[in-house]
Structure 1
Amino acid sequence: MNLLLDTHLMLWAMQGRAALPKAAVPWIDRADAVFVSAASLWEAAIKAALGKLTVDVAALEQQLADAGFAQLPVRWTHAAQVALLPQGRHRNPFDRLLVAQAISEPLHLLTCDAALGPYTDLVIVVPA
């Protein structure tokens, strides 16, 4: 199984294994590959610029690669898939793009955000 981490799980993973929710660890350990979306780095960069997050975004890409995570770029097909998602369910554009990427690739999206679960059975919600 190939996983796509949501932004929170990516950030927790970069803080070390102990920062990850316990329920997420077995999913990550059993995955054939673990992907991180360029959209998650974009979200982290925006939050860092707004002062809502303390992270060295410039170093984050290398840290993710060193940790063995695969990079998932944002493709046109992902953007098109966003338009097919139900409206009103969840308004966060980054989360909606991650769901669209999971559907398009396909990948299992690992998240602690229960609001993403109803989109598709490709979403795996674990407690934070």
Structure 2
Amino acid sequence: MQFLIDTHILLWWLGNSPRLSAEVREMIANPESFVFVSAATVWEMSIKRGLGKLSVPDNLLEMLKVHQFEVLNITAEHGLRVGELPEYHKDPFDRMLIAQAQMEGFMLISGDRKFEQYDVSLLKA
């Protein structure tokens, strides 16, 4: 199974947060799962770090490798798809995740209830 994880899911995973459900934890840890982190997530975390709103490890990309998470780059096609999405969600980073999950055929893992309004395979955290 291929998963794309939302920013808060990545943070919960890296911080071993109890907010991450046992089901999601098992899915991510399953050796048969392929877990992707969008470049948009790294971008969002970097912006929030710069604004002092988020503590991000200096070795974030190394940590992704340690956890065997793959970075999903943003393509022009992903960008065009974002523009085709209904305006249920205003957050541009989340809209990119939805577009990427749709186009790549990935299941999106998130606790964001707004994602439920979109035609996307979703595992609620």
TM-score by structure 2 length? 0.90
Give the structure 2 partner of residue 24 of structure 1. 24
% same residue: 36
Contact 1:13/1:19 (8 A) holds in 2: no
Give the structure 2 partner of residue 108 of structure 1. 107
Offset at residue 10 of structure 1 (A): 0.8
Give the paired residue count.
124
Using the alignment, how far apart are the partners of 1:121 and 1:64 within structure 2? 24
Offset at residue 118 of structure 1 (A): 1.5
The DSSP-based 3-state class of the residue aligned with 1:98 is: helix
CA RMSD of aligned residues (A): 1.6
The DSSP-based 3-state class of the residue aligned with 1:53 is: coil
TM-score by structure 1 length? 0.88
Matches within 5 A, 1:1-128: 1-16=1-16, 20-30=20-30, 32-56=33-57, 58-87=58-87, 89-126=88-125
Q: Which digits, 9 at most, give the CA deviation of each residue in 1:97-123, with x for residues without a partner? A: 000000111111100111111212412
Using the alignment, how far apart are the partners of 1:41 and 1:19 within structure 2? 21
Contact 2:98/2:120 (8 A) holds in 1: no
Runs of 4+ aligned structure 1 residues displaced above 2 Å come to 16-23, 29-32
